Amino acid sequence: RVHGGGKRESSSPVMALPTPARGLSCLSRHVYALPTQIVRHFPTRAIGEMKLKHPHLASADTNAMLHKQHQTKSESFYRRPLPQHCIPFSSKSGREMFRSAMEQNGLKSYFVLAECYETQSEPAFCGVGTLTVCLNALGLDPGRIWKGPWRWFDDQMLECCIPLERVKTTGLSFHEFGSLSRCNGAVVKEWRADTTTIEQFREVLTECTVDTIAHTSPSDGRIDRVLVVSYQRGALGQTGDGHFSPIAAYAPKEDLVLILDVARFKYPPHWVPLPMLWKAMSEVNNYDNRSRGFFVLSPPQPGENLRCPSKIRSWKSHGDLLCSKSSCGVATHRYSTSDTNNQTN
């Protein structure tokens, strides 16, 4: 029996023992030729069970199947623990902060965003997933069918100036997020952290999340703007690189911001100190030597249609990404992987 914690064994196979003459009922008494690292992880019982389920497989095939099963499990992840300074939304402290934000009228955006909150459908879809949540929260009609007779924004529908297959690999850049938002009917204002200040960010945050006399939510709960942040996870002590998520609430006295993290398979919604979030937005991207930043998305005025008039998919034939809507901001541009934000969540 091989025990862990000792000296690392070589990867040479162990000596093969004779195959039992009487069928497979005695397999649990024998160890077949396996690389040492597989023997370490798979006891004789597992080998025997595999042989019983697949008696037609040769010993080498069994070994490979066992190794593949183990490798798949060992290389997968189930969520990540939040750093200490990030307060999980559902924790006792997170609920106390929610109560404090409510007392300070800092939940202006929360309830509508919570109704539309969902998990990004691909590991690199943080930008697309965030945009889906925000467009639905703003009550925008996509003007096209989702499923059945229903019109509703979904990650897989947000393809216009950038092919989704490329987004699955590289994510969206800061500029591309704004462009895709415009293509799908939103009015977009954007700020890079390197062209503004933390005080200006706090002012915009307050306008989007805090009910004041000047900015009070309608009685039907609709909201007229949503704040989205583009930030560097590492600056918050989290794993990954660039990330997009909507901001749902703000507690002014504590200066804490509630991020509705769309990568819920990794991190839950959490409260972060505003200065720390600002630092994460100020981190410089390697691809364009610019900082990240924040966006405010709003619905268009009645009768105003900002949506691209047609779906342009010219990249499928020659790779040039063309958008016929000049306001979207992406025109006749050939992208490469070095041109992207590398949103790795």
Taking the C-alpha atoms of residue 222 and residue 243, their distance in angstroms, rounded to an integer, is 26
From the list 74, 17, 72, the residue with the least C-alpha distance to 48 is: 17
Write out the H or E segment, with its range, that includes residue 96. Answer: helix 92-103
Please answer whether residues 227 and 295 qualify as being in contact, where contact means their C-beta atoms are separated by less than 8 angstroms: yes
Write out the H or E segment, with its range, that includes residue 202. Answer: helix 198-209
3-state SS assignment for residue 111: helix
Dihedral sign (CA 179, 184, 189, 192): negative
Please answer whether residues 112 and 256 qualify as being in contact, where contact means their C-beta atoms are separated by less than 8 angstroms: no
Burial class of residue 216 (count of CB atoms within 10 Å of its CB; 0-12, 13-18, 19+): exposed
User: Which pairing describes strands 226-232 and 293-298: parallel, antiparallel, or unpaired?
Assistant: antiparallel
**CA-based max dimension of the chain:** 87
- Please enumerate in sequence order all residues whose Cβ is within 8 A of that of 235, keeping only pairs 6 or more positions apart, or say none: 276, 279, 280, 283
Taking the C-alpha atoms of residue 334 and residue 322, their distance in angstroms, rounded to an integer, is 9
User: So which residues are the catalytic ones?
Assistant: 126, 243, 261
Please answer whether residues 140 and 184 qualify as being in contact, where contact means their C-beta atoms are separated by less than 8 angstroms: yes
From the list 117, 140, 99, the residue with the least C-alpha distance to 223 is: 140
CA gyration radius for the chain? 26
- Number of neighbours of residue 163 by Cβ within 10 angstroms: 17
Please answer whether residues 199 and 240 qualify as being in contact, where contact means their C-beta atoms are separated by less than 8 angstroms: no
Interior angle at CA 78, CA 73 and CA 79, nearest 5: 155
